[in-house]
Amino acid sequence: MSSNGTTRNIFLSGVGGQGTILASNILGQVLLDAGYDVKKAEVHGMAQRGGDVTTHFRFGEKVYSPLIRQGDVDYLVSFELLEALRYMHWVKPEGKIILNNVSILPPAVNLGKMEYPKNVEKTFKKRFKENVWMVNGYEIAKRIGNVQVANVVLLGALSNFFPELTGNQWIEAIKSLLPSKLHDTNIKAFDEGRAAIIR
Protein backbone atom coordinates (compact mmCIF):
# COMPACT_ATOMS: atom_id res chain seq x y z
CA MET A 1 0.00 0.00 0.00
CA SER A 2 1.34 3.41 -0.87
CA SER A 3 0.00 6.40 1.01
CA ASN A 4 1.67 8.92 -1.21
CA GLY A 5 1.27 8.23 -4.90
CA THR A 6 4.04 10.59 -5.91
CA THR A 7 6.79 9.08 -3.78
CA ARG A 8 8.87 6.28 -5.27
CA ASN A 9 10.95 3.86 -3.23
CA ILE A 10 14.30 2.35 -4.17
CA PHE A 11 15.90 -0.23 -1.90
CA LEU A 12 19.58 -1.06 -2.28
CA SER A 13 20.99 -4.12 -0.55
CA GLY A 14 24.45 -5.61 -0.52
CA VAL A 15 27.52 -6.35 1.54
CA GLY A 16 29.77 -3.76 3.21
CA GLY A 17 32.41 -2.51 0.77
CA GLN A 18 30.36 -3.01 -2.41
CA GLY A 19 29.80 0.70 -2.94
CA THR A 20 26.10 1.04 -2.15
CA ILE A 21 26.70 4.40 -0.47
CA LEU A 22 28.31 6.00 -3.51
CA ALA A 23 25.52 4.63 -5.70
CA SER A 24 22.88 6.15 -3.44
CA ASN A 25 24.77 9.46 -3.33
CA ILE A 26 24.69 9.64 -7.13
CA LEU A 27 20.97 8.79 -7.11
CA GLY A 28 20.38 11.58 -4.60
CA GLN A 29 22.28 14.14 -6.66
CA VAL A 30 20.59 13.37 -9.96
CA LEU A 31 17.10 13.45 -8.44
CA LEU A 32 17.75 16.61 -6.41
CA ASP A 33 19.05 18.31 -9.56
CA ALA A 34 15.87 17.18 -11.34
CA GLY A 35 13.81 19.02 -8.72
CA TYR A 36 12.67 16.17 -6.48
CA ASP A 37 12.68 15.98 -2.70
CA VAL A 38 14.86 13.04 -1.64
CA LYS A 39 15.55 11.16 1.56
CA LYS A 40 17.83 8.21 2.16
CA ALA A 41 18.71 6.13 5.17
CA GLU A 42 21.70 3.95 5.82
CA VAL A 43 23.15 2.17 8.82
CA HIS A 44 26.87 2.71 9.35
CA GLY A 45 29.25 1.24 11.92
CA MET A 46 29.38 -2.52 12.33
CA ALA A 47 28.21 -2.92 8.74
CA GLN A 48 31.65 -1.98 7.46
CA ARG A 49 33.06 -5.25 8.73
CA GLY A 50 31.60 -7.50 6.05
CA GLY A 51 28.05 -7.31 7.37
CA ASP A 52 24.98 -6.75 5.22
CA VAL A 53 24.12 -3.18 4.26
CA THR A 54 20.90 -1.63 3.08
CA THR A 55 19.90 1.79 1.81
CA HIS A 56 16.36 3.10 1.82
CA PHE A 57 16.06 5.71 -0.94
CA ARG A 58 12.86 7.70 -1.47
CA PHE A 59 12.04 10.54 -3.84
CA GLY A 60 9.01 12.54 -4.86
CA GLU A 61 7.37 15.92 -4.54
CA LYS A 62 7.60 15.88 -0.72
CA VAL A 63 9.06 12.96 1.19
CA TYR A 64 8.37 12.53 4.90
CA SER A 65 9.79 9.32 6.36
CA PRO A 66 13.30 8.28 5.28
CA LEU A 67 12.30 4.62 5.67
CA ILE A 68 10.37 2.52 3.19
CA ARG A 69 7.56 0.37 4.52
CA GLN A 70 7.90 -3.37 4.16
CA GLY A 71 6.04 -4.29 0.96
CA ASP A 72 6.35 -0.80 -0.51
CA VAL A 73 9.58 -1.07 -2.54
CA ASP A 74 9.20 -0.02 -6.19
CA TYR A 75 12.75 -0.89 -7.22
CA LEU A 76 15.03 -3.41 -5.54
CA VAL A 77 18.66 -3.15 -6.63
CA SER A 78 20.64 -5.89 -5.01
CA PHE A 79 24.41 -5.91 -5.20
CA GLU A 80 24.52 -9.53 -4.00
CA LEU A 81 22.14 -12.45 -4.54
CA LEU A 82 21.55 -13.61 -0.97
CA GLU A 83 21.00 -10.00 0.08
CA ALA A 84 18.29 -9.76 -2.59
CA LEU A 85 16.46 -12.78 -1.23
CA ARG A 86 16.57 -11.39 2.29
CA TYR A 87 14.46 -8.42 1.18
CA MET A 88 12.21 -10.04 -1.44
CA HIS A 89 9.12 -9.54 0.71
CA TRP A 90 9.77 -5.80 0.85
CA VAL A 91 9.01 -5.44 -2.88
CA LYS A 92 5.55 -4.50 -4.22
CA PRO A 93 3.92 -7.17 -6.40
CA GLU A 94 4.54 -4.98 -9.48
CA GLY A 95 8.00 -3.86 -8.29
CA LYS A 96 11.10 -4.07 -10.49
CA ILE A 97 14.17 -6.03 -9.46
CA ILE A 98 17.78 -5.71 -10.58
CA LEU A 99 20.07 -8.50 -9.41
CA ASN A 100 23.83 -8.31 -9.54
CA ASN A 101 25.08 -11.77 -10.50
CA VAL A 102 27.43 -12.06 -7.54
CA SER A 103 27.50 -14.35 -4.52
CA ILE A 104 29.57 -13.37 -1.50
CA LEU A 105 29.60 -16.28 0.92
CA PRO A 106 28.65 -15.46 4.52
CA PRO A 107 30.58 -17.09 7.40
CA ALA A 108 28.08 -19.91 8.00
CA VAL A 109 28.46 -20.97 4.36
CA ASN A 110 32.25 -20.54 4.43
CA LEU A 111 32.36 -22.86 7.42
CA GLY A 112 30.22 -25.43 5.66
CA LYS A 113 27.42 -25.14 8.20
CA MET A 114 24.74 -23.71 5.90
CA GLU A 115 24.08 -23.71 2.18
CA TYR A 116 24.06 -20.65 0.00
CA PRO A 117 20.58 -20.33 -1.53
CA LYS A 118 20.30 -21.76 -5.03
CA ASN A 119 18.40 -20.38 -8.01
CA VAL A 120 17.86 -16.90 -6.62
CA GLU A 121 16.96 -15.50 -10.05
CA LYS A 122 14.39 -18.26 -10.58
CA THR A 123 12.83 -17.62 -7.16
CA PHE A 124 12.38 -13.97 -8.05
CA LYS A 125 11.05 -14.70 -11.55
CA LYS A 126 8.46 -17.05 -10.13
CA ARG A 127 7.00 -14.21 -8.12
CA PHE A 128 7.81 -11.11 -10.14
CA LYS A 129 7.71 -12.65 -13.64
CA GLU A 130 9.27 -10.40 -16.29
CA ASN A 131 10.14 -7.63 -13.82
CA VAL A 132 13.46 -9.25 -12.88
CA TRP A 133 16.77 -8.40 -14.52
CA MET A 134 20.08 -10.10 -13.86
CA VAL A 135 23.16 -7.94 -14.51
CA ASN A 136 26.76 -9.18 -14.59
CA GLY A 137 27.97 -6.10 -12.73
CA TYR A 138 31.38 -7.43 -11.78
CA GLU A 139 32.17 -8.94 -15.15
CA ILE A 140 31.30 -5.69 -16.86
CA ALA A 141 33.33 -3.69 -14.32
CA LYS A 142 36.28 -6.06 -14.71
CA ARG A 143 36.14 -5.65 -18.47
CA ILE A 144 36.20 -1.86 -18.05
CA GLY A 145 39.27 -2.35 -15.88
CA ASN A 146 38.08 -1.64 -12.33
CA VAL A 147 35.90 -4.02 -10.29
CA GLN A 148 35.07 -1.12 -7.96
CA VAL A 149 32.71 0.43 -10.52
CA ALA A 150 30.23 -2.46 -10.45
CA ASN A 151 28.04 -0.19 -8.32
CA VAL A 152 27.79 2.36 -11.12
CA VAL A 153 27.06 -0.42 -13.64
CA LEU A 154 24.01 -1.31 -11.54
CA LEU A 155 23.03 2.33 -11.35
CA GLY A 156 23.19 2.49 -15.14
CA ALA A 157 20.82 -0.48 -15.29
CA LEU A 158 18.45 1.20 -12.85
CA SER A 159 18.49 4.44 -14.86
CA ASN A 160 16.38 2.74 -17.55
CA PHE A 161 13.37 2.97 -15.23
CA PHE A 162 13.44 6.76 -15.09
CA PRO A 163 12.83 7.94 -18.67
CA GLU A 164 12.26 11.49 -17.38
CA LEU A 165 16.00 11.71 -16.66
CA THR A 166 18.43 11.89 -19.56
CA GLY A 167 21.69 9.96 -19.61
CA ASN A 168 23.45 13.30 -19.51
CA GLN A 169 21.78 14.27 -16.23
CA TRP A 170 23.11 11.07 -14.66
CA ILE A 171 26.60 11.68 -16.02
CA GLU A 172 26.60 15.23 -14.65
CA ALA A 173 25.71 13.86 -11.20
CA ILE A 174 28.51 11.28 -11.42
CA LYS A 175 30.98 14.01 -12.41
CA SER A 176 29.90 16.28 -9.58
CA LEU A 177 30.51 13.61 -6.92
CA LEU A 178 33.72 11.95 -8.15
CA PRO A 179 37.25 13.28 -8.68
CA SER A 180 37.98 13.89 -12.36
CA LYS A 181 40.48 11.03 -12.69
CA LEU A 182 37.61 8.60 -12.04
CA HIS A 183 35.15 10.15 -14.50
CA ASP A 184 35.99 8.07 -17.57
CA THR A 185 35.70 4.62 -15.99
CA ASN A 186 32.54 5.53 -14.09
CA ILE A 187 30.83 7.05 -17.12
CA LYS A 188 31.75 3.96 -19.09
CA ALA A 189 30.39 1.78 -16.28
CA PHE A 190 27.16 3.77 -16.26
CA ASP A 191 26.74 3.48 -20.04
CA GLU A 192 27.43 -0.26 -20.03
CA GLY A 193 24.96 -0.78 -17.20
CA ARG A 194 22.34 1.29 -19.00
CA ALA A 195 22.76 -0.89 -22.08
CA ALA A 196 22.88 -4.13 -20.08
CA ILE A 197 19.14 -4.39 -19.63
CA ILE A 198 16.64 -3.74 -22.33
CA ARG A 199 13.10 -3.09 -21.26
Q: Which spans of this chain sit near another protein (rule: CB under 8 A)?
A: 1, 3-4, 15-16, 24-25, 28-29, 32, 37-52, 63-71, 82-83, 85-86, 88-90, 93, 105-112, 114-117, 123, 126-127
The residue (of 42 and 172) whose beta carbon lies closer to another protein is 42
Q: Decide whether 17 or 194 has the Cβ nearer to another protein.
A: 17
Nearest approach in angstroms of CB 15 to another protein is 7
Residue number with CB closer to another protein (9 or 159): 9
- Based on CB atoms, which residue is closest to another protein, 129 or 184? 129
Long-range contacts of 80-83 (CB under 8 A, 24+ apart): 80/13, 80/14, 80/15, 80/18, 80/104, 81/117, 81/120, 81/121, 82/106, 82/116, 82/117, 82/120, 83/13, 83/14, 83/15, 83/52, 83/54
Q: How far is the CB of 189 from another protein (least distance, A)?
A: 19
CA distance 106 to 126: 25
**Dist CA 126 CA 129 (whole Å):** 6
Contact, 43 vs 14, CB < 8 A?
no
Q: Which residues on neighbouring strands pair with residue 156, listed in sequence order?
A: none
Task: Quote the least distance from Cβ 53 to another protein, whole Å.
Answer: 9
Min dist CB 58 to another protein, Å, is 9
Using CA atoms, how far residue 173 sits from 13, 79, 138, 177, 194, in Å, is 21, 21, 22, 6, 15
Cβ distance to another protein smaller for residue 33 or 197: 33
Choice between 103 and 160, CB closer to another protein = 103
Minimum distance, C-beta of residue 77 to another protein, in the bound complex (Å): 17
CA dihedral (91, 92, 98, 102) in degrees, to 10, reads 20
Q: How far apart are CB 136 and another protein at their closest, in Å? A: 17
